């Protein structure tokens, strides 16, 4: 008997419902019809969470046929929920296209792929170990592949289309010998989050007539999400036909192979659509920020193991010649002018991976408050930028101080091995202690700058000073226990560090008023 698992009806999306103590899974229908009651999607994987949001944004967009402009958006926002008859009509029209195991049109898959080349379903998920993949999240093996429920398979299926790594995969005659990475792999996918899933979905919808501020323009007449498109996915390059096509981009041809009991252990995965040369993601991606680099052009802002993303928060919000924030953030600038109260505060969450050569080193989600006052505000954003620059200068002062400590211990005459000095300085771990200590203070800083600028900057300066001094003192204690010149090294480094730290934080503090006090 053929298996069936329709994502419109079956619960597979993990959410937290307002007023309920435990998370639960909901179907696509329930996710839209109860979006005003659902607080958050809560999958443990950041990239699954990002991919599910992109799917739901596209589905909501298609179901309500818009919103096509600011007025239509404001009408939806004021209603506070998606209209049930409109949603039900759309889901009924395309119901058959959402069956995970449909013989002719399996959801987000390509029917007819050769199942004789199927391999472990672990190939769909970065969290599973397989082949020579790093054993970071999972302890299954190729000889004992995981056996997963259809709901988990559906989540991995949606995610692999958005976050596929590059590499050689199963091919058919005429296919390319390898596949490029999905365009989101290097990017921090930025999501604006409201108080409910309804608000979150609506906040991340841009007008479908064109992405404002981007040179690449979509043609709404040609646009459609993956489940509405009739042409098969092939291993070819093409430009996205539109915004909804992009949100549901099929970077891989996939076919799930269910066991007799409906569980999934095997899958076929092959190259799908790629982007043609010269088509820059900066020109069309709505949920990522980009910065311009010499010789590299526009590069997505992404995650790095050694650096928290909030340190790049200015790049996520700005629109200048050297940086472009997500279109969704800039879309808020249009809505702020007459449609949203400037006192509103949302959350900005970024999801993504850190990868190198088709290996995943980490996945991460970072969230910080986003007062609407920042959006499209050329006067306010520099205060945030100055705060981050001061913290960076404090980190530089800390770095130089640890080098002085290392030099005074290993080479007081100044003729030591630079590599050995650098290694000893790094081993003190001062910077590794400094930045994490600022994680929570930064959230207070970005929250308070719009309403209490002077106080917020002073509090941030105090937090930066405390974090830097604590990190230096830890390093100094290690050095003082070193036989020989430990105490002398600290005596040499401490005054220089305090002077440099004071200079780094000076711009955050108010200028003294002649005769005493501050302005």
Q: What is the pLDDT of residues 205-251, one digit of tens each?
A: 887 554 444 445 566 678 899 999 999 999 888 889 888 999 999 99
Q: For residue 16, name the pLDDT band (cuts at 50, 70, 90).
A: very high
- Would you say residue 11 has pLDDT above 60? yes
**pLDDT value at position 133?**
47
Q: How many CB atoms lie within 10 A of CB 417?
A: 11
133 or 169: which leads in pLDDT: 169
The fraction of the chain above a pLDDT of 90, given in percent, is 49
Q: Provide the 8-state DSSP code for 428.
A: T
Tell if the pTM clears 0.75, that is, is over it.
yes
- Would you say residue 410 has pLDDT above 90? no
Mean of the per-residue pLDDT values of the chain: 86
Give the CB-side neighbour count of residue 111, counting CA atoms within 13 A: 13
Contact 123, 267 (CB under 8 A): yes
- What would the two tokens of residue 12 be? 């597979």
- Would you say residue 130 has pLDDT above 60? no
Q: What is the mean pLDDT of residues 57-71?
A: 89
**pLDDT value at position 168?**
60
SS3 state at 337: coil
Q: What is the mean pLDDT of residues 181-187?
A: 86
**pLDDT value at position 129?**
45
- What would the two tokens of residue 361 be? 């080193």
**pLDDT value at position 390?**
96
* Gyration radius of the chain over CA positions: 26
Q: For residue 127, name the pLDDT band (cuts at 50, 70, 90).
A: low
Q: For residue 439, name the pLDDT band (cuts at 50, 70, 90).
A: very high
- What would the two tokens of residue 346 be? 């949302």
Q: Given the DSSP bridges, would you call strands 297-300 and 38-41 parallel, antiparallel or unpaired?
A: unpaired
What 3 state SS string does 21-52 have? Answer: CCCEEECHHHHHHCCCCEEEECCCCHHHHHHH
DSSP H helices, 181-240, are: 197-203
What is the spatial distance between Cα 166 and Cα 180, in angstroms, rounded to a whole number? 4
């Amino acid at each position: 008997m053929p298996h069936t698992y329709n994502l419109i009806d079956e619960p597979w999306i993990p959410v937290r419902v307002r007023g309920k103590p435990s998370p639960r899974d909901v179907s696509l229908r329930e996710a839209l019809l109860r979006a005003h009651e659902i607080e958050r999607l809560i999958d443990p994987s950041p990239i699954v969470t990002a991919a599910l949001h992109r799917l739901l944004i596209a589905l909501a967009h298609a179901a309500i046929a818009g919103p096509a402009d600011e007025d239509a958006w404001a009408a939806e926002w004021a209603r506070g929920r998606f209209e049930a008859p409109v949603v039900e009509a759309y889901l009924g029209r395309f119901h058959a296209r959402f069956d995970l195991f449909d013989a002719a049109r399996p959801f987000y898959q390509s029917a007819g792929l050769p199942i004789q080349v199927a391999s472990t379903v672990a190939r769909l998920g970065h969290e599973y170990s397989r082949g020579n993949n790093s054993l970071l999240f999972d302890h299954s093996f190729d000889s004992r592949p995981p056996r997963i429920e259809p709901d988990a398979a559906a989540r991995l299926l949606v995610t692999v289309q958005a976050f596929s790594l590059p590499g050689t995969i199963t091919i058919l005659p005429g296919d390319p010998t390898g596949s490029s990475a999905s365009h989101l792999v290097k990017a921090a996918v930025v999501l604006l989050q409201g108080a409910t899933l309804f608000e979150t979905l609506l906040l991340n919808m841009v007008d479908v007539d064109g992405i404002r501020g981007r040179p690449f323009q979509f043609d709404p007449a040609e646009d459609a999400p993956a489940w509405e498109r009739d042409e098969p996915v092939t291993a070819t390059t093409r430009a996205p036909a539109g915004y909804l096509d992009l949100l549901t981009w099929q970077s891989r041809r996939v076919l799930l192979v269910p066991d007799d009991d409906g569980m999934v252990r095997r899958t076929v995965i092959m190259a799908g659509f790629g982007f043609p040369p010269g088509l820059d993601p900066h020109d069309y991606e709505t949920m990522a920020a980009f910065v311009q680099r010499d010789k590299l052009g526009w590069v997505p802002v992404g995650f790095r193991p050694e650096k928290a993303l909030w340190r790049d928060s200015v790049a996520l919000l700005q629109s200048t010649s050297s940086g472009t924030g997500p279109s969704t953030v800039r879309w808020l600038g249009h809505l702020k002018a007459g449609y949203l109260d400037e006192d509103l505060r949302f959350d900005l969450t970024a999801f993504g991976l850190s990868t190198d050569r088709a290996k995943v080193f980490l996945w991460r989600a970072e969230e910080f408050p986003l007062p609407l006052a920042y959006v499209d505000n050329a006067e306010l954003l520099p205060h945030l930028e100055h705060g981050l620059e001061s913290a960076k200068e404090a980190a530089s002062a800390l770095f130089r101080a640890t080098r002085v400590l290392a030099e005074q211990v290993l080479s007081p005459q100044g003729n030591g091995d630079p590599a050995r000095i650098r290694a000893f300085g790094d081993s003190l771990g001062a910077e590794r202690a400094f930045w994490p200590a600022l994680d929570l203070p930064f959230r207070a800083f970005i929250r308070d700058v719009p309403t209490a600028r002077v106080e917020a900057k002073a509090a941030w300066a105090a937090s930066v000073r405390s974090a830097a001094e604590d990190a230096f003192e830890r390093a100094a204690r290690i050095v003082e226990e070193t036989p020989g010149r430990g105490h002398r090294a600290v005596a040499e480094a401490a005054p220089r560090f305090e002077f440099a730290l004071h200079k780094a934080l000076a711009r955050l503090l108010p200028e003294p008023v002649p005769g005493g006090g501050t302005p």
